[in-house]
Amino acid sequence: MKTLFAFFVLLFVIPANAGVIDEIAALEKHKTATGNNPTQHRTAPKVKPQTFRLSTGKVLNITHWQIVHFMKSDCQYCQQFNPVLNATSQQLGIPVFVYSFDGLGDSTFSNVLPVTPDVIGEFFPELPQVTPTDFIVNTQTLVAIPVSQGMLSAEMFVNRLEQSFGLAEKLGVLQ
């Protein structure tokens, strides 16, 4: 009886294992066919560092930094400042991540995320929730440094960025 039971168990287990083995073999064949040889050394593509030049002439590596922008779709100051911010960020090569207090974008920033209580707690623990408001954030360490609140000219915004990146350097969080 035990022999008969073992026979039936093997009858079902062997084909199942064969199917898994065939799938693994097919995956391995595909890996070597596309040149993904596991013995080859894989190197990450070199990313050109993004730099920001201070008025002192010092050049800072800001590759892992981005601007976090808070707005509201019906805010008249946001509607005036958002094109300035967008043009400045493109000129400097700094990406912008946008949160909206009402969850809606505008003609400049249509792709926004709604503000959550956690986000408010992280960025506005002691600051008034004014729009527009901007921070620089290190994407690796999540260090956030305030840049501005309210509408600014492009020149004033770049000056504030310089002050914020200078502060990041002094605090030793620039990386």
Please write the tens of the pLDDT for every residue from 102-133. Answer: 999 999 999 999 999 999 999 999 888 999 99
Please tell me the total number of residues recorded for the chain in this structure.
Answer: 175
What pLDDT score was predicted for residue 25? 55
Q: Domain extents for the chain? A: 1-42, 51-171
Please report where in the chains the tokens 């770049």 appear, as a residue. 158
Q: CB neighbours of 131 closer than 8 A, spacing ≥ 6?
A: 70, 71, 72, 75, 77, 78, 101
Please write the tens of the pLDDT for every residue from 22-69. Answer: 655 555 565 455 455 555 555 555 667 888 888 888 888 888 999 999
Which ranges of the chain does DSSP label H, i.e. alpha helix? 2-33, 76-92, 117-123, 154-171
Its pTM surpasses 0.75:
no
51-171 has which fold? Glutaredoxin (3.40.30)
